Amino acid sequence: MRRACLWAAMLLWCGAAMSAPGADSLYIEDLTWTELRDRVRSGATTILVPIGGTEQNGPHMVLGKHNARVRLLAGRIAQSLGQALVAPVLAYVPEGSIEPPAAHMRFPGTISIPEPVFEAVLESAARSFRRHGFRDVVFLGDHGGYQASEQRVAAKLNREWAGKSAGSTVRVHAPAEFYQAAATGYAQWLAGKGHSRDEIGTHAGLADTSLALAVDPGLVRKDRLLGPKAGEGEGVWGDPRRASVELGQAGLEQIVTKTVANLRARIEAR
């Protein structure tokens, strides 16, 4: 309990610091171009590109769950890494067929774009950051559906830029550990706490809802929590009724810790 309280206090303090507009913000959209230029010149040459998605998350969670979660996590990761900044969240991602509607597109509010368009956006963003002096571009994808696209874009650009001189080498990273920490590692941790696989779920269940509560309780409508009988018809795969801030805080901590360790190793290797 004490650990959970300390983590909650840290999240509140860090969230206020990271979201406060000004020259010290970790988010580049809060900076002027001269402030950003000076930060890069002083050594902040890692840019995190948070990728979310706008999709249904059951009747109890807002459409922007992924966007809110990845923005907070990217800020926490940047703060832990040091000399890192955060790009604006990419909220439009591939969500499946629009006509005929498939998967999450069956629910109002989900926004889907073609996979080639999504990959072109990632590539152009990375090229832009390279032009402005960043040396490590990191794709942080909070959604499982586009993980392969991240990997393809990173591999393409790394092949292209590999022949550049050592002093100007830029690497693009798409750490699978970021998504796996939430989808696999956190689920295993919850199972170790006595929660069943059916309860933990894969979308809008216990795990997903707990993480959202820890990011911002306002993302969840507690009066709309549905049990396992809701199922696919309501966009819920799992049972969110026992979700809590405390469970979510543990998950956020795991995601940050594992991702930071992986990125430090990648950046040092480069």
Closest to 68 in 3D by CA, of 254, 248, 191: 248
pLDDT, tens digit (0-9, with 9 covering 90-100), for 219-231: 999 999 987 776 7
User: Mean of the pLDDT values across residues 171-177?
Assistant: 96
**Given this model, what pLDDT does residue 13 score?**
43
Local confidence band at 17 (pLDDT 50, 70, 90 cut-offs): very low
- Which pLDDT score is estimated for 270? 72
What whole-number distance in Å separates Cα of residue 9 and Cα of residue 6? 5
Q: Which CATH class is domain 6-269?
A: alpha beta
CA distances from 234 to 51, 96, 97, 161, 176 (A): 25, 18, 19, 46, 29
Average pLDDT value over all residues in the chain: 91
* Domain-wise residue ranges, the chain: 6-269
Sheet holding 171-173, edge to edge: 84-86, 46-51, 136-141, 171-173
Q: Quick: pLDDT tens for 102-154.
A: 999 999 999 999 999 999 999 999 999 999 999 999 999 999 999 999 999 99
196-220 pLDDT, tens per residue? 999 999 999 999 999 999 999 999 9
Q: What is the 8-class DSSP label of residue 109?
A: T
Is the per-residue pLDDT at 8 higher than 50? no
Kindly report the three-state secondary structure assignment for every residue of 5-57: HHHHHHHHHHHHHHHCCCCCCCEHHHCCHHHHHHHHHCCCCEEEEEECCCCCE
Percent of the residues in the chain that have a pLDDT greater than 70, as a whole number: 90
Q: Give the H or E element holding residue 72.
A: helix 65-81
pLDDT score, position 167: 52
- Predicted pLDDT of residue 166: 52
